[in-house]
Amino acid sequence: MHVTLSATLAANEDIARRRRSGERVLHLAFGEAGLPVHPALLARLADAGASNGYGEVAGLAALREAAAGYWSRRELPTDPDLVVCGPGSKSLLFGLLVAIGADPGEWRSPGDMVLPMPSWVSYAAQAEIVGVRPILVPTPAGEGGVPDPDQVRSAVLHARAQGRTVRSVLVTLPDNPTGRLARPETVRRLAEVARELDLVIISDEIYRDLVHDPHATPFLSPADVAPERTVITSGLSKSLALGGWRIGVARLPHTPGGWALRQRLLAVASEIWSAPAAPVQHAAAYAFAEPEEIVERIDDSRRLHATVARAVADRFARAGAKVDVPQGGFYLYPQMPGFDSSDELARTLLDRHGVGVLPGTAFGDEPRSARVRVATSLLYGETAEQRLAALHGSDPLSLPWVAESLDYLEEALGGLTTKEPSRARRRMFLAPAPAR
C-alpha cells in the first residue's frame, strides 16, 4: 500500500510555503469555498460551546431530524434514524467503505469499487487504505461524476470473471473535479446496471445546492430511482463554507440492508471518531433546517461561484483550452494543447507562470491527457471584508482584487506557449501573501 498526503492538501501547503517566501502564486488548486461563516451559525456555535459531552455515535437527534427534513424537502423522505452524522462527509465515506459488504455480525472484505474517471483524489486513496481496488471507468463526454453505465457493466463483469468481488459504485453530483452534472438519463441507466449487478451506489452530493447553470439538466439523485441501494453523503463544507468545522451526514436506504449497514457504520464510527463535535452539530442542525437567512446565503454563494467560475473558464477558452462550461460548485477541468501530460502542464503553470492547479493524474486521469483541475473559490479576496464584498456585490468581477487576479491569469495563460515567465510572474508581492 502506498498512500501519500492528499494532493489537494499537499498543493495547498506548497503554495502557502511559496507565498510566505514572497512568490506570487494565484491559488487555483484548493477546493475551499472561500467565504466567511454566516453570523447566525457563529452564534449557534457559541451558544452550544458548553456542550462537551460525547453524545450519540449516530449524531445529535436534532441534527439527524434536520438532515432528514432537508432530504424530505427534496422529495427524498428520510427516517432520522437512518441518518448518520460524522466529522465531515470524508470520514463518513471512509466508514462506508469499511462497512459495505459485511453481513450482520460478520466482517469481511468490502469488495472492490467502481469510480468515475476522473474523480476526487480521496476516493481511490481511501479505497487503497482499506484494501479495496478501484475500477476506474470514464464518464460520458461532456458529463462528470457518473461513470458510463455500459462500461460499468462490462468492467464489473470482467472483474468478477477474474475472481474479484465488486460491491459498490461511487458517483459525485455535481462533480469535483470537472464541475459538470451528469444527465438524468445517465443516472437512470447507472441505477439499472447497479440493480442488475447488485451494486451499492454511494452518491456524494456535497455540491448539490451549488448547481448554478440554468441550462443544466435537472438534478437527479440515484436515490430517486434506486432508493433501495443508494447511500447519500453530504455536508456543509461547500454550500456554507464550513470545511474547518468538519461535519457531514449520510442517508442510508430504508431497507433491511440499510438498517444493517447503519449498525456496521456506527460500529466503525464508534472506534474512529466516537461522535462529531457537539457544538458544531448544534449549529449544523440550524443550517440543515434551512431558515431564510441560510437559504439566502447559499443562493448568494451559488451566484458568486457561477460568476467567477465562468469567468475563469472564459480565460482558459480564450487561451485555446478545451473546457466545458462549469455547471456546479467552483471547479473546471480544462485541457490545454501543446503539452504531453497534465503533470507537465501543472508544473509549467506553477513554476513559470505562478498559477497553482492540480494535474489530472491526481484524479485518476490518463497521464497523457493534459487536463488540470482548476478551483476558483479562493479568488474572492484575502480578507473577510473582501470576500463579503464579492458575495454581496452586484458585479464581483469588477472588484479590483478579483479583476486583478483574472488579469494575472489571462497573462499567465497567454504565456504558456513561450519559454519565458509571464510579466505577471516576474512581479512579486510587496509582502508575502497571508497563508490560507
The whole domain housing 280 covers: 51-290
With respect to residue 1, please indicate whether it lies within any of the assigned structural domains.
no
- The predicted pLDDT at position 263 comes to 95
- The predicted pLDDT at position 432 comes to 38
248: CATH: 3.40.640.10
With respect to residue 69, please indicate whether it lies within any of the assigned structural domains.
yes
How far is the CA of 113 from the CAs of 136, 139, 168, in angstroms? 9, 15, 5
The yes-or-no verdict on residue 1 having pLDDT over 70 is no
If you average pLDDT over residues 414-419, what whole number do you get? 75
Whether residue 240 sits in one domain with residue 135? yes
Cis peptide before 256 (omega within 30 of 0): no
With respect to residue 254, please indicate whether it lies within any of the assigned structural domains.
yes
Q: How confident is the model at residue 424 (pLDDT cuts 50, 70, 90)?
A: low
Q: How confident is the model at residue 105 (pLDDT cuts 50, 70, 90)?
A: low
Kind of pairing between the strands at 166-172 and 26-27: unpaired
Whether residue 318 sits in one domain with residue 217? no
Whether residue 344 sits in one domain with residue 265? no
Whether residue 180 sits in one domain with residue 231? yes
With respect to residue 66, please indicate whether it lies within any of the assigned structural domains.
yes
- 3-class SS letters over the chain: CCCCCCHHHHHHHHHHHHHHCCCCCEECCCCCCCCCCCHHHHHHHHHCCCCCCCCCCCCCHHHHHHHHHHHHCCCCCCCHHHEEEECCHHHHHHHHHHHCCCCCCCCCCCCEEEEEECCCHHHHHHHHHCCCCEEEEECCCCCCCCCCHHHHHHHHHHHHHCCCCEEEEEEECCCCCCCCCCCHHHHHHHHHHHHHHCCEEEEECCCHHHECCCCCCCCCCHHHHCHHHEEEEEECCCCCCCHHHCCEEEECCCCHHHHHHHHHHHHHHHHHCCCCCHHHHHHHHHHHCCCHHHHHHHHHHHHHHHHHHHHHHHHHHHCCCECCCCCECCEECCECCCCCCHHHHHHHHHHHHCEECEEHHHHCCCCCCCEEEEECCCCCCCCHHHHHHHHHCCCHHHCHHHHHHHHHHHHHHHCCCCCCCCHHHHCCCCCCCCCC
- The neighbour count for residue 183, using CB atoms within 10 Å, is 17
- The predicted pLDDT at position 419 comes to 52
Domain final residue pick, 257, 290, 323 = 290
CA pair distance 104, 258, nearest whole angstrom: 11
Kind of pairing between the strands at 112-117 and 331-332: unpaired
- The predicted pLDDT at position 433 comes to 40
Whether residue 330 sits in one domain with residue 282? no
- The predicted pLDDT at position 91 comes to 97
Whether residue 173 sits in one domain with residue 143? yes
With respect to residue 426, please indicate whether it lies within any of the assigned structural domains.
no
- The predicted pLDDT at position 308 comes to 98
With respect to residue 45, please indicate whether it lies within any of the assigned structural domains.
no
CA pair distance 78, 218, nearest whole angstrom: 21
With respect to residue 340, please indicate whether it lies within any of the assigned structural domains.
yes
Whether residue 345 sits in one domain with residue 270? no
pLDDT in tens, 111-121: 899 999 999 99
Q: Could you tell me which residue, 74 or 22, shows the higher pLDDT?
A: 74
- The predicted pLDDT at position 3 comes to 64
The average confidence (pLDDT) of the chain is: 92
Whether residue 298 sits in one domain with residue 168? no
Q: How confident is the model at residue 98 (pLDDT cuts 50, 70, 90)?
A: very high
Kind of pairing between the strands at 358-359 and 134-138: unpaired
pLDDT in tens, 3-58: 676 777 777 788 888 888 888 889 999 889 999 999 999 999 999 999 999 999 99
If you average pLDDT over residues 410-425, what whole number do you get? 74
With respect to residue 424, please indicate whether it lies within any of the assigned structural domains.
no
The total number of structural domains in the chain stands at 2
- The neighbour count for residue 124, using CB atoms within 10 Å, is 22
Whether residue 300 sits in one domain with residue 275? no
- The predicted pLDDT at position 428 comes to 41
- The predicted pLDDT at position 340 comes to 93
Q: Structure pTM?
A: 0.93
Whether residue 112 sits in one domain with residue 14? no
Whether residue 105 sits in one domain with residue 245? yes
- The predicted pLDDT at position 16 comes to 82
Task: Supply φ then ψ for residue 356, to 5 degrees.
Answer: -95, 120
- The predicted pLDDT at position 10 comes to 79
Domain final residue pick, 257, 274, 290 = 290
The yes-or-no verdict on residue 387 having pLDDT over 80 is yes
366: CATH: 3.90.1150.10
pLDDT in tens, 249-293: 999 999 999 999 999 999 999 999 999 999 999 999 999 999 999
CA pair distance 373, 336, nearest whole angstrom: 12
- The predicted pLDDT at position 367 comes to 84
- The predicted pLDDT at position 108 comes to 60
pLDDT in tens, 119-131: 999 999 999 998 8
Whether residue 188 sits in one domain with residue 65? yes
pLDDT in tens, 167-218: 999 999 999 999 999 999 999 999 999 999 999 999 999 999 999 998 878 9
